[in-house]
Amino acid sequence: MARNKAIRLLGLRDSAELLVALGDADLPMPLPPPHDLENQAVAFAKLWKQS
For residue range 9-33, what is the model confidence (pLDDT) as tens digits? 999 999 999 999 999 999 998 889 9
For the chain, the average pLDDT equals: 95
Helix (H) or strand (E) segment spanning residue 23: helix 15-24
Assessment of whether the complete model's pTM goes beyond 0.85: no
Residue 1 has pLDDT above 90, yes or no: no
Domain boundaries along the sequence of the chain: 3-50
Distance CA 50, CA 8 (A): 42
| CA distance readout (Å), 21 to 1, 10, 31 | 15, 9, 16
